[in-house]
Amino acid sequence: MARPRSLDPQLVRKALEVSRQTQDCQELRQALAVLLPAQTNTTLDQTARILGLGRATVVRLQHAFKNRQVSAPRKVWGGRRRSLMSVEAEKEFLRPWEEQAKTGGVLVLSPIRAALAQKLGRKVNRSVVWRLLERHGWRKVAPDTRHPKSDPQVQEDWKKNCRKHWQPC
């Protein structure tokens, strides 16, 4: 069974005041995160659905309102939390291959992957290298135009000798 909700009546009054006077969207969300459970007896999940937020975000908003962190800048979620190298280090790492790529040379993934693994001192998956190249604007310019096992002579012979009208077997 869940713990009974304990909301301070002063906090509810203050949230009501703030919700009536504020011009800031973040302050209003914080006040509503306190008011909705107090006045309409909604659960955290229901409050989150009403506000269009996640359940954990409602708890964060309530906590921020209690501690009056209204003017604090909003924490930005996201970013590269598990990066292997900084963006500048990645640019420096790709510099030896940059000239070859600019002159139209063919870059092969395996040497880049091996050099990256040596620099980091650990195994590196192919997808890591593909994402690294994509992050720096490198892309596969042109796909293969023909199959490596194709034979142009056989293709021409087939074009000349094929039946004009297909007949059912």
pLDDT single digits (tens) 47-62 = 999 999 999 999 999 9
CA distances from 21 to 2, 37, 61, 65, 146 (A): 34, 20, 18, 15, 68
Average pLDDT, the chain: 85
Q: Domain map of the chain by residue range?
A: 9-66, 87-135
Region 1-28: mean pLDDT is 83
Region 32-59: mean pLDDT is 91
Please check the confidence at residue 91 and state whether its pLDDT lies above 90: yes
